[in-house]
Amino acid sequence: MKLATIKFNAAAHVMLVAGLLAALPAQADTINLKQAVQMSLTADPRIKEREQVVEAARGLLQEAQGNAGWRASAHAFVGLTLKVEGGFYQNGAYNCATPNCALRTDGDKYNGLSDWSHLDFALIRPLFTFGKIEHYGDAARGNVDLRRGELDQTRGDTVYDTKRAYFGYLTARDIRVFLEDVQGRLDQSIASVKRNLEEETGESKQSELYALQTAKGTLAKYVHQAGAIEKISLDGLKVLTGTGLKGELQVADERIEPVAFPPVELADLQARALQDRPEMQQLEAGLRARRALVAAKKADRMPDVYAGVIGQYNYASRREQLDNPYLNDPFNGGGLTPVIGVKWDSVLGVASARVNQAQAELEALNHKKAFAVAGIPYEVSEAYTNARANFDSQRDLAQGAAAARRWMVATLADFSAGLESADKVADAMKNYVLVQTEYLRTVNDYNMNVAQLARLTGELN
């Protein structure tokens, strides 16, 4: 009895602890940028869709390769035919007993019906197709590589979108926290001016209160906007990482920081883009597929040589069997034979038109590649130049923001000592807000320039 009580109490304790843990609020996941990217690559439905498109392309390749194997066809049915009794000669005789015996002539007379079972079949395999199977297989293989390039491109877009949401959230959060700090300092100044006006000390004027209240209204607008962007960016990050809008998510970074500038020269980045960028890989795969397709369309104008077995069987239960080797009853009997044959099925004008169409599509893709070879280095150069400009800008803005902060603090101190007017405080705060927010936005722009540069050069992380 004592042992049972102990077991019961232990079980009750476990259930109580489990209930308390379940009642606690769910812990929010805290992730850094690398983890966010990996989660997005795992959760993004667009990537899963592209993966299935690649599998479908592999299926087409298997289909093209399967055309080199055995091909089976069969046709069976059950129908009706005329009943026939007796032999081959007049009046149904089986033998010709007289010199003038005649063949039967009652084939058009109705003597009843018989069931009729029919089966014809063929089992053949191509021996030589003038390259049709090989060329269509090469085209399908190029299509697989093309779809893989689209998959890599989608992954690159997902990485870029995740970085944009992540950095956007950090930027908006930092701007909001910064503006709220300035807002607090401004509220203190407004309270000080109001107190001086109420006490009529003569240290403050009504116009100074209006100036500070005007600055407060403008500042409040930017606080609300930053809060909205912060929420939107975090919601976007939740969707991309698969957390869901109702889930809890936190980022590990305490503030936004400029990422390292790419340690690679522009020429090397351009060469890397021409080699590794998914679009270039898609173009190369597309060209291989188009060339193979042109060759396949040309081969379609040629016949196929094949070997196999074909046969036919017919059975009517109410018809007599004919055993004459020179006569054949289509409703009774059958045969089976190995064959080697040639099959040619081509509409010459249509076949030539299809060749011309495939050739034109190949030439169009060649021109597209020429444009890509010229345009991709320009895109890389544009992103690199913007990244360099914003990298230098955020570095100078950081110094300007530090100076603006010292200006604001000094002005607030002078204002508290009665040595400075409120409009000077508002002006110092306005410039500090302008420079600091511009610095944070420039850091975000620079980080996204680097992310864009990574996407343009084919990096997938």
Give tens-digit pLDDT for 125-135.
Answer: 999 989 888 99
Listing DSSP states for 304-372 in one string gives: EEEEEEEEEEEE-TTBPPP--TT---TTSEEEEEEEEEEE----HHHHHHHHHHHHHHHHHHHHHHHHH
Q: Which residue has the tokens 């003569």?
A: 202
Is-contact 204 197, C-beta < 8 A?
Answer: yes
Helix or strand or coil: residue 172?
helix
pLDDT bucket at 18, cuts 50 / 70 / 90: very low
CATH annotation of 27-68+129-302+346-456:
1.20.1600.10
311 beta partners = 121, 336
pLDDT of residue 257: 93
Helix or strand or coil: residue 251?
strand
pLDDT bucket at 62, cuts 50 / 70 / 90: very high
Listing DSSP states for 175-241 in one string gives: HHHHHHHHHHHHHHHHHHHHHHHHHT-SS--HHHHHHHHHHHHHHHHHHHHHHHHHHHHHHHHHHHH
Helix (H) or strand (E) holding 289: helix 278-299
Q: Which residues contact 461 (CB under 8 A, 6 or more apart)?
A: 34, 37, 159, 454
pLDDT bucket at 5, cuts 50 / 70 / 90: very low
Q: What does the pLDDT average to over 238-253?
A: 91
Name which residue leads in pLDDT, 255 or 202.
255
Q: How far apart are CA 315 and CA 309, in angstroms?
A: 21
CA-angle at 260, arms to 256 and 266, nearest 5°: 135
Q: What does the pLDDT average to over 149-163?
A: 92
pLDDT of residue 162: 95
pLDDT bucket at 370, cuts 50 / 70 / 90: confident
Taking all residues of the chain, what is their mean pLDDT, rounded to a whole number?
A: 86
pLDDT of residue 27: 56
Token pair of 228, please? 């909205």
Q: pTM score, two decimals?
A: 0.78
pLDDT of residue 25: 45
Which tens digits make up the pLDDT trace of 390-424? 999 999 999 999 999 999 889 888 877 777 777 78
Q: How far apart are CA 330 and CA 325, in angstroms?
A: 13
Q: How far apart are CA 132 and CA 304, in angstroms?
A: 9
Q: How far apart are CA 169 and CA 98, in angstroms?
A: 111
Q: How far apart are CA 390 and CA 445, in angstroms?
A: 7
59-73, 86-100, 342-356: range with highest mean pLDDT: 59-73
Name which residue leads in pLDDT, 29 or 451.
451
Name which residue leads in pLDDT, 403 or 21.
403
Listing DSSP states for 38-58 in one string gives: HHHHHH-HHHHHHHHHHHHHH
pLDDT of residue 116: 92
What percent of the chain shows pLDDT beyond 90? Answer: 43
pLDDT of residue 268: 93
Beta-strand pair 249-251/29-31:
parallel
Residue of 98, 96, 94 whose CA lies nearest to 84: 94
- pLDDT reading at 433 higher than 60: yes
Output the CA–CA distances (angstroms, integers) from residue 281 to 93, 99, 143, 374, in the order listed. 80, 87, 11, 15
Q: How far apart are CA 106 and CA 66, in angstroms?
A: 52
pLDDT of residue 104: 81
Alpha-helical runs (H) found in 303-347: none
CATH annotation of 73-88+110-128+305-345:
2.20.200
Q: Which residue has the tokens 């230098």?
A: 392
Positive/negative CA dihedral, 154, 232, 401, 257: negative
Q: How far apart are CA 217 and CA 173, in angstroms?
A: 20
- Residue ranges covered by each domain of the chain: 27-68+129-302+346-456, 73-88+110-128+305-345
Q: What does the pLDDT average to over 56-69?
A: 90
Q: What does the pLDDT average to over 153-176?
A: 94
Is-contact 197 206, C-beta < 8 A?
Answer: yes
Which tens digits make up the pLDDT trace of 334-363? 889 999 999 888 777 787 888 888 889 888
Residue of 156, 134, 164, 162 whose CA lies nearest to 61: 134
Output the CA–CA distances (angstroms, integers) from residue 290 to 113, 146, 446, in the order listed. 59, 11, 40
Q: How far apart are CA 429 and CA 410, in angstroms?
A: 11
Is-contact 132 303, C-beta < 8 A?
Answer: no
